[in-house]
Structure 1
Amino acid sequence: MAHADAVESMLRALLDDRPRDGEVARPSGLLQAIRHGALGGGKRLRPFLLLESAALFGATGTAPLRVAAALECIHCYSLIHDDLPAMDDDDMRRGRPTVHRAFDEATAILAGDSLLTYAFDVIASEETELPAERRVELVTRLARAAGLGGMAGGQFLDLAAERETPGEDGILRLQAMKTGALIRFACEAGAIVGQASPADRERLAEFGSAIGLAFQLADDLLDLTSDAATLGKAAGKDAAAGKATLAGLHGIEWTRRQLSGLMDQANDLLRPFGEAGTMLRTAARFVIERDH
């Protein structure tokens, strides 16, 4: 909860109405839509993973918090765009109207565009007090995780799966891109911020990949077993749209067994960190056992 509150406070500070150097103005109507999509809700899982991964290596304070807030800007942009009529066509997000319903479709597109570009501004800024080479690496890694070979590419594959059902390998690939890439980045970015060794950095990245797959499996399971009131968004949409998911392909019990196996894998990856990895283990359990 402390991390979520800190990220919320940082986002509020970043999304104020004061123009930064090089900006002419921040239009109030667009800023309102951005705040609607980014503030006051969400699990803040990705920032939590980044902050806890950084803390493993002694990195705390404003720099990792700014990187975490930038990552959340990317995540919130993706939700705003995913909800659009041309994409997943959702009316509710986090228990309230989606941005294009609360405002309009054009404003929602621009709100997402603004959050996407602002994320790189925040990391690259000298206010993120990290050595320049580390800021460059974070920007590069985030761009790859969010773009063609990551989240955006995965969303394309997910939409294509409504027209032509992929096999299991195709589902795994699209989920590793659409959901897993940003979660893997969160854990690896924490290690980059904390100047971890190459071996520890790879261990955290693998942990992120396991959590990313677990998150998607849990999400697909909830889509099959929960309801809109609990989720804060529509339930059963994947099946209605004909989307292929591993949970839909193999069933509920198989999915629960896979989630249990991923929990074991996450624990194994964190074992070398001992008690310092407790919060990351707790996060893994939350992802696997969540009900919304």
Structure 2
Amino acid sequence: MKMFKNYLKTQRELIDLNIECYLNKLEYPNVIAEGMRYSVLNGGKRLRPTLLLMVLELYERDLSLGLPIAVAIEMIHSYSLVHDDLPALDNDDYRRGKLTTHKKFGEAEAILIGDALLTHSFSIVTDETCGVSSDKLIKIIGMISRYAGINGMIGGQMIDIESEKKKVPLETLKYIHENKTGKLIKLPVEIGAIICDATKEEYKALERYSECIGLAFQIKDDILDIEGDFQKIGKPVGSDLELEKTTYPSLFGMDKSREILKELIEDSKKSLSIFPKDKIQKFIELADYIGIRES
């Protein structure tokens, strides 16, 4: 696991270098440009862009094919966090151990910073991507808008808000997790498969892998919200309980939630059995990492 953490660190450094490269081109309005950099470059695991690079590595393709899209996905993820933290939603003061964007820059400013991250991400995809055919790029742009929008992250977020202070059934909870969190984890994997011309069987295997780790990631988040440490997760614990949200622990208890988490991680590994074992080692290590992470 130590070697894999070093791998994640290397990938994170590469991604951050490219994020800085693109965002440093922005200068005015100053507060928007500064706020965008603050919101994206304030830590984070870079799991989503790393997944795209991992698929490119699996097919032995040049990482430069996917780096602009990987950066765009991270910017979309960051925009969602900026808006999630706003007083009208989760009303959080800290994110990754630092002041949330609205606490640092102001509430109106944070709304516009989030909007700018989302819209500028599409400019990066179209203006900076090289070596990917226009047909593939159109398909990728459509997928990004769907998975980040009403049929993905935004839809999941809306049902999550509507479900506060209610005991919702498992099907509703699954919808929330699959869309609010899962779609943006599936997105880079499926984009990587498109760029690399994956066969139908390979595409389905990668899709299944991403679905399993996406749900596993959210269940682990639910667990960390109960037993996590502020110093490690960078934000106060117990927010789900405070908002009376239905979570896997609230439905099944902690022991059963851990069991479901473990099953999902094992299922994610099995889904990639069609690939040579030596080619999928990083995917296996990532699945294990999701299960043991502390932040």
TM-score, normalised by the number of residues in structure 2: 0.94
| Residue 265 (structure 2) pairs with residue 263 (structure 1) | yes
Instruction: Quote the residue 1:243 is aligned against.
Output: 245
Return the alpha-carbon distance in structure 2 between the equivalents of residues 30 and 38 of structure 1.
12
User: What stretches of structure 1 move > 4 A for 4+ residues in a row?
Assistant: none
Instruction: Quote the residue 2:280 is aligned against.
Output: 277
Matches within 5 A, 1:79-90: 79-90=81-92
- The answer to whether the 8 A contact 1:83-1:89 is kept is yes
Instruction: Quote the residue 1:13 is aligned against.
Output: 21
Post-superposition Cα deviations, 1:155-188, rounded to whole Å, max 9, x if no partner, equal 1111111143311111011110000001011211
Instruction: Quote the residue 1:286 is aligned against.
Output: 289
Instruction: Quote the residue 1:38 is aligned against.
Output: 40
Pair 126,48 (structure 1): closer, same or farther in 2 beyond 3 Å: closer
Instruction: Quote the residue 2:10 is aligned against.
Output: 2
- Residue range with higher mean Cα deviation, 54-63 or 278-287: 54-63
Return the alpha-carbon distance in structure 2 between the equivalents of residues 191 and 242 of structure 1.
38
TM-score, normalised by the number of residues in structure 1: 0.95
Post-superposition Cα deviations, 1:131-177, rounded to whole Å, max 9, x if no partner, equal 00111111111111100010011011111111433111110111100
Matches within 5 A, 1:16-165: 16-18=24-26, 26-125=28-127, 127-165=129-167
Return the alpha-carbon distance in structure 2 between the equivalents of residues 184 and 290 of structure 1.
19
Post-superposition Cα deviations, 1:202-243, rounded to whole Å, max 9, x if no partner, equal 211111110100000000000111132221011000011100
Instruction: Quote the residue 2:186 is aligned against.
Output: 184
Return the alpha-carbon distance in structure 1 between the equivalents of residues 263 and 20 of structure 2.
38
Q: Alignment identity in percent?
A: 34
CA apart distance, 1:122:
1.4
CA apart distance, 1:105:
0.6
Alignment-mate amino acid for residue 285 of structure 2: T
CA apart distance, 1:54:
2.0
Return the alpha-carbon distance in structure 2 between the equivalents of residues 126 and 45 of structure 1.
21
CA apart distance, 1:126:
5.6
Return the alpha-carbon distance in structure 1 between the equivalents of residues 223 and 130 of structure 2.
38
- Residue range with higher mean Cα deviation, 211-220 or 61-70: 61-70
Alignment-mate amino acid for residue 290 of structure 1: R
Post-superposition Cα deviations, 1:231-258, rounded to whole Å, max 9, x if no partner, equal 1011000011100011221111101111
CA apart distance, 1:67:
1.1
- The answer to whether the 8 A contact 1:246-1:255 is kept is yes
Alignment-mate amino acid for residue 9 of structure 1: L
Instruction: Quote the residue 2:175 is aligned against.
Output: 173
Alignment RMSD (CA, Å): 1.3
**Aligned positions, number:** 286
Return the alpha-carbon distance in structure 1 between the equivalents of residues 96 and 254 of structure 2.
25
- The answer to whether the 8 A contact 1:57-1:195 is kept is no
- The answer to whether the 8 A contact 1:44-1:72 is kept is yes
Secondary structure of 1:271's aligned partner: coil
Secondary structure of 1:122's aligned partner: helix
| Residue 242 (structure 2) pairs with residue 234 (structure 1) | no
Runs of at least 5 residues in structure 1 that lack an aligned partner in the other structure: 19-24
Pair 132,227 (structure 1): closer, same or farther in 2 beyond 3 Å: same
Secondary structure of 1:247's aligned partner: helix
Alignment-mate amino acid for residue 240 of structure 1: E
- The answer to whether the 8 A contact 2:57-2:63 is kept is no
